[in-house]
Amino acid sequence: MARRRGSVWAAAVRTPVGACSALLLAAVVVLAVLAPILWGDAAAAIDTDAIGQGPSGAHPFGTDSLGRDLLFRTLVATRLSIGLAVLATAIGVVAGVVLGTLPAVLPRWAGRLLTAVVNIAVAFPGLLLALFLAVIFGVGTQGAVLAIGFAVAPAFARLVQTLSASVSGRDFVAAARVSGVGRIRLLARHVLPNIGEPLVVNATIGAGSALLAFAGLSFLGIGVQAPDYDWGRLLREGLDGIYVNPVAALAPCAAVVLAGLSFNLAGETVAAVVGLRTRATRRAAGPLPAPRPSAAETPDAGAVLVVENLQVAFPGPGGWIVPVRGVSFSVRAGEAIGVVGESGSGKSLTALAVSRLIEAPGVVTADRLEFGGKPLADASDRELGTALAMVFQDPMTSFNPARRVGRQLAEVSEQHHGLSRRQAFARAVDRLAAVRVPAAARRARQYPHEFSGGMRQRAMIGMGLMGEPKLVIADEPTTALDVTVQRQVLRLLARTRETEGAAILLISHDIAVVSQTCERMLVMYAGRVVEDLPTAALPDAARHPYTRALLATTVDLETDREAALAVIPGRPPEPDQVPPGCAFAARCPLASDRCRAEDPVLAPMAHGHRVACWHPHETAVTVLSGQSREEGAA
C-alpha cells in the first residue's frame, strides 16, 4: 500500500503542476528554515551610510530607511510570513473541524443554532471578518494570527458539515450507529477519516489565502509589529519610497505571490493525487494482461449482442486485477439468457461492460463486442439510450429522488426522440400504464419515494420501454422484492420480450428464477463462463461440476426438510488470487492434476451447450463424445 501511495505521489510530482509546486514549496521551506540562520544578522545590520539606496551590486534590492539590506530582509521574512500563515491556517482548520462536527454531537437545538451561526459567518467576506476580529483580538502578531484563523474557520466548518452530512447518510455509519457506537466515536472513527482527504486539499489551498490575508493585515499596520517584520510590513515600508526604489515594494510582493502560488499549486497537486490516484496507479499497474482464451460460439447473423473474450480489469496495488477473464457469449434477438453464479463471479461487471458503464480506471477489452450488429464502441449515446435498457437491483438509487418519476421517464424521449415536454410526458404515462403501474397519470407526478419497491422496479422497466429496446439487461431485478412482486416483475420482463421483441439478459443468484424465465443459462465462476446450457433440460443437462453443485443448493417445496441444506464447500477465489488451471479445482470433487495446471477452454459439447471442464459429468442428453474431454484429448 505504501509503495502504491509512493508511486502515485511520484507520478503526480512528475506532472508540470506537480513539479512546479514541489520546487516552489521546497524553496519556500528551505528559505524559511535557513534564511534567518544564514542572513538574520546581515538583515538586521544598520548602515547609516547606505540609507534609502536603490538597487546596487552591494544591495541588489536596495536598502531601507536605516540602511538595512532589503534582499536579506525579504529572505529572512520568509520564516515569519510562512510560519504565521501556516499557524493561522491550522487554527482555522481545527476550529472549523470542531465547529463543523459539533452539531452532530450537540443536542439538536444547539446544533441547529451553531449551524446557523456558521452560515451567517460564511456570508461575511473573509478579509472583512479578519479585520473585525483583528480589532477584537488586539493589534499585533498574536491578534492577527487568531483573527485570520477564526476568519477562515467558518468556511472550513461549512465544508466539514457538508462532507460529514454526505458520509453520515451512508449505510456503514448507520450500521455503526445501530451497533451502539457513541456519537463522538462515530465521528472520530467513521466520519472524519472519510472526509480527511478533501480537508487536507482545502487546507493547503487555504494556507495561500491566509498568507495573503496576513500580508494584508501587516500592510495595514495591524499585523506584525516592529522590530519583527514579515512581507506585509516590508511592503508597507517599501511603498513609502516606491518612486525612489520600486524594488523595495515589489520584492515582498513577489515573495507573497510566489509563496502563495506554491501553496495553491501544492493544493492542486494534492487534489490531483486524491482525485486521480487511480490514474497514476494505472500507470503503476503495468501493461494489461492478455485475456485467457475461450472458444467463441458462432453467433447468429441476427445476434443482438456478441461478446467475445471480454475482459474487465482494474489497476490494483500489485498489478492488474481481472474480475472478468475472457467471457464469450451471444444473445439472439428476442432471446432470454440468464447469468448465474456466486457473489463476485463477475456477473454485474459483465453486464456493466456490455452497457458501456465501466468507469475509468476500469479497462474493458474484447476481441469482439457488438451490439445491434456493430461495434459497441461505435454506438452513439442515442442508439444505446433507446435500444438498450438497464434495470438495476435497487430501483431507489436508480431514480433521481428530487425529480418526479414521469419527468425522469420523459427525459429519455425528450433527449432521444425529440418529443416536446408534453408529448414526452404523455408517453411516460403510457409506458407506466404499460408496465401496470396503477393510476399511471397520477403516479407519473409523484416522486420515487412515493412508489413501493415493486412499483419503482416496474417504473424502471417502463423507463427502458421509452425507447425501442433490443436488449433489456436486468441485474438482480427482483432481489429486493417480495415473492409476489418478484413474480409480477418477472412476468413483466417476459411480456416486454413478447410485445417489444426485446432480448433479455437476466442476472440472478436464483437458478429457479432463471430457469423459469430464460431459455439459456450462463454459469459464471471467478470471472469466466464455465457452462452455457439450455434451461429446458435442467437439472439433468448440467455437465460442469460447479453448475451441478449450484443446482444442488437450490431449495424448493419438494426439498427434504429433514436433510441438511446442501452447500458448496470452500469459497470462490478473489479476482487477484485466481490460481492457474481451473479456478473451481480447489472446490471440485472431480479435480485432477490437469485441472490444477491447465484452465479448460469453454468448448461446445452439444448444440447450444458449452462447458469449460476437463471432467464434465456424463448426461443422458446428447453429447458430442461419449468420452470425458481428458480422455478425448489424450
Ligand X SMILES: Nc1ncnc2c1ncn2[C@@H]1O[C@H](COP(=O)(O)OP(=O)(O)OP(=O)(O)O)[C@@H](O)[C@H]1O
- Residues in contact with ligand X by CB under 6 A are 314, 321, 323, 341, 343-349, 362, 575
Sequence length of the chain is: 634
CA pair distance 203, 200, nearest whole angstrom: 5
CA pair distance 544, 341, nearest whole angstrom: 13
Q: Measured from the CB atom, is 204 or 348 closer to ligand X? A: 348
Backbone φ/ψ region at 476: left (φ over 0), alpha (ψ -120 to 50), beta: left
Closest CA to 131 of 55, 226, 214, 40: 214
Using DSSP's 3-state secondary structure scheme, residue 154 falls into: helix
Q: Measured from the CB atom, is 206 or 362 closer to ligand X? A: 362
Q: Shortest Cβ distance from residue 559 to ligand X (Å)?
A: 23
Q: Measured from the CB atom, is 262 or 355 closer to ligand X? A: 355
188 DSSP assignment: I
Q: Measured from the CB atom, is 409 or 524 closer to ligand X? A: 524
Q: Shortest Cβ distance from residue 506 to ligand X (Å)?
A: 13
Adjacent-strand bridge partners of 336: 504
Report which residue type is found at 566: A
Q: Shortest Cβ distance from residue 529 to ligand X (Å)?
A: 12
Cβ burial, residue 633 (10 Å; 0-12/13-18/19+) = exposed
Q: Measured from the CB atom, is 210 or 390 closer to ligand X? A: 390
Q: Measured from the CB atom, is 409 or 578 closer to ligand X? A: 578
Q: Which three cell numbers stand for residue 151?
A: 476568519
577 DSSP assignment: G
Please count the other Cβ atoms lying within 10 Å of the Cβ belonging to residue 473.
Answer: 27
Q: Shortest Cβ distance from residue 174 to ligand X (Å)?
A: 20
CA pair distance 595, 465, nearest whole angstrom: 45
Please count the other Cβ atoms lying within 10 Å of the Cβ belonging to residue 19.
Answer: 14
Q: Shortest Cβ distance from residue 502 to ligand X (Å)?
A: 22
Q: Shortest Cβ distance from residue 626 to ligand X (Å)?
A: 34
Q: Shortest Cβ distance from residue 228 to ligand X (Å)?
A: 53
Q: Shortest Cβ distance from residue 344 to ligand X (Å)?
A: 4
Q: Measured from the CB atom, is 103 or 323 closer to ligand X? A: 323
Give Cβ neighbours of residue 528 (< 8 Å, ≥ 6 apart): 292, 294, 325, 326, 327, 346, 583, 602, 612
Q: Shortest Cβ distance from residue 395 to ligand X (Å)?
A: 16
Adjacent-strand bridge partners of 529: 524
CA pair distance 127, 214, nearest whole angstrom: 10
Q: Measured from the CB atom, is 225 or 479 closer to ligand X? A: 479
Q: Measured from the CB atom, is 264 or 294 closer to ligand X? A: 294
Provide the pairing of β-strand 528-534 with 520-525. Answer: antiparallel
Q: Shortest Cβ distance from residue 200 to ligand X (Å)?
A: 24
Q: What angle do CA 613, 615, 620 make, to 5 degrees?
A: 100
Q: Measured from the CB atom, is 32 or 602 closer to ligand X? A: 602
H helices of 241-392, where?
Answer: 246-285, 347-354, 381-387
The answer to whether the CB of 313 falls within 8 A of the CB of 284 is: no
Q: Measured from the CB atom, is 298 or 343 closer to ligand X? A: 343
Q: Shortest Cβ distance from residue 315 to ligand X (Å)?
A: 8
Q: Measured from the CB atom, is 71 or 364 closer to ligand X? A: 364
Provide the pairing of β-strand 336-340 with 503-507. Answer: parallel
Q: Which three cell numbers stand for residue 289?
A: 494482461
For 527-541, b/e burial (b = at least 16 CB within 10 A) is bbbbbbbbbeebeeb
Q: Shortest Cβ distance from residue 221 to ligand X (Å)?
A: 56
Q: Measured from the CB atom, is 61 or 314 closer to ligand X? A: 314
CA pair distance 391, 292, nearest whole angstrom: 30
- Check whether the bond before 227 is cis (ω within 30° of 0): yes
Q: Shortest Cβ distance from residue 289 to ligand X (Å)?
A: 14
